[in-house]
Amino acid sequence: MSETALHDLLLSGSFRVGRTLVTHLSDGVVVEPRANWFHGVDPACWMPVVGAGSPDTPFPVTFGGFLVQTPDTTTMFDCGIGPLARSMFPGIREGGNLLHRLEEAGVAPGEVDRVVISHLHLDHCGHLLKPDGSLTFESAEVWLHHREAEYWRSAAAAGNIEPARIRRYLDALQSAGVLRTYADEFELSPGVRLIPSPGHTPGHTAMLLSSAGAHAMLLGDIVHHTAHFTHPRWLQSYDVEPESSFATRLELFDRAARLGAVVTAVHMPILTLGTVTTTGSGGHVYHPAPPHRPVGQP
């Protein structure tokens, strides 16, 4: 991949959902093999679908989050790796720079009302705390599914990624009084819904945005590649509850198809937008949207 092509993937890109502006903010891009996105699948099956010449073909992997601006609220959905970006991924480009991308979008961290975390892997919640342990988004509530907080505090998380560090994050949020949890799908504010979507982790959350008859679904780590829409059994190696991941995918893909929602996910290249339709046999087809030009502030 040329430097120019890589640079185009790095920074940010926006799209509108009715009166809501959504901006995918990068916290860095890694280019590396990702056979673990197709865990246990014969490479002869997935390679031709994703255009890979070998199981070691590198993929661009974006880290970061989405800035969601409705006329009344400013929300982050996930917030990247944070200060640990360069130590976790030594080859990362623009690693740890999500707050610069936020500033370029015209938003200061103190202006963010809520941060919704899809799940507590470090690459999704890292910017919640500054290196000194204080809150980055000092005015924001931090929303999680209650099972997510419980899972990371339990012995079941022992084999997952840095549970002790995640517990320190939870402790800091709790003692600052900003941690909020929810159980059933609900509307956090008009047009911003949180949807329990277990599988990748037990308390994973997706976000559904609706405005003026338009819809978009931010899928967290339910999908990592657009091939997952048509091959929902191709799961990621980190999934804690693989059967739930599969069920969650079918449920949300069906819902996105019914709504005509735009779908995207945080690890996809910026800006990856598409829609989903169902097939007669219960499968799904992904339709890439035409490239969106970046748009300005409302």
Binding site for Zn ion (CB under 5 A): 123, 221
For residue 123, the minimal CB distance to Zn ion (Å) is 5
Phi and psi of 185, rounded to 5°?
Answer: -50, 135
Name residue, tokens 């929602």: 261
Angle of CA points 270, 274, 280, to nearest 5°: 150
Structural contact between residues 218 and 17, judged by C-beta atoms closer than 8 angstroms: no
CA atoms within 13 A on the CB side of 249: 30
Residue number with CB closer to Zn ion (28 or 191): 28
How far apart are CB 63 and Zn ion at their closest, in Å? 7
With contact defined as beta carbons under 8 Å apart, do 32 and 58 qualify?
Answer: yes
Structure tokens at 152: 């990371």
Q: Classify residue 287 by its DSSP letter.
A: E
Q: How far is the CB of 7 from Zn ion (least distance, A)?
A: 22
CB closer to Zn ion out of 121 and 215:
121
Nearer to Zn ion, 27 or 123 (CB): 123
Residue 263: is it exposed, middle or buried by C-beta count within 10 angstroms (0-12/13-18/19+)? buried
Q: Which is nearer to Zn ion, 37 or 137 (CB)?
A: 37
Residue among 192 and 265 whose Cβ is closer to Zn ion: 265
CA count, 13 A, side-chain hemisphere, 295: 14
Minimum CB–partner distance for residue 210 and Zn ion (Å): 25
Nearer to Zn ion, 102 or 265 (CB): 265
Minimum distance of Zn ion from residue 193's CB (angstroms): 21
Side by side, which strands form the sheet with 12-17?
12-17, 20-33, 58-69, 74-77, 114-116, 141-145, 179-182
Shortest Å, Cβ 297 to Zn ion: 28
- How far apart CA 23 and CA 216 sit, in angstroms, is 12
